[in-house]
Amino acid sequence: MKKFLILFICLFIVSGCDKQEVVNCSLSSKNVITGYDLESNYKIIYKGDYALSVETEEIITSESSDVLDYFEEELNNSYNSLNEAYGGYEINITRDNNKLTSKVTIDYSKMNVEQYVTDVPALKEYTDNNKLLKDGIISLYESLGATCDK
């Protein structure tokens, strides 16, 4: 019986250490002057202290096609440029009537984090051994005004 208990405890510890967890962050804003609403949701997937990936969904709603055109171009240019430079981005931007939806997954295992931090030195404090820290990613989103469930 003791052997089974010890085996169970060992399996529990090993499986618990391998567990991925999630922190959700959200941000919404309204720009009355330009005429759009923005809702952003960020799902930070991590293991231990390190962020493995971030899944973002940004929804921009506007009655103005010019506003949606602007955001669509900016999002495409920004994410595609980042993906070309560092890798790791899966980008899906769709548009339906007065709504633009951007779904992006950033997989840090496929990203050249070392080069990214070299190019953006302010990120150095959010990394350890060329891995992005979960708490660093949370801090970045909170600095933008997002609220995160911790």
- Can you name the residues that pair with 61 across neighbouring β-strands? 37, 99
Mean pLDDT of the chain: 89
What is the per-residue pLDDT across 117-140, written as a single tens digit (0 to 9) for each?
Answer: 999 999 999 999 999 999 999 999
Q: Domain 19-148 is in which class?
A: alpha beta
Whole-angstrom Cα distance, residue 56 to residue 35?
A: 22
What is the per-residue pLDDT across 19-43, written as a single tens digit (0 to 9) for each?
Answer: 899 999 999 999 999 999 999 999 9
| 129 contacts 75 by C-beta, under 8 angstroms | no
Tokens matching residue 146: 């997002």
What is the pLDDT, as a whole number, of residue 17?
54
- Domain segments of the chain as ranges: 19-148
Kindly report the three-state secondary structure assignment for every residue of 11-45: HHHHHHHCCCEEEEEEEEEEECCCCEEEEEEEEEE
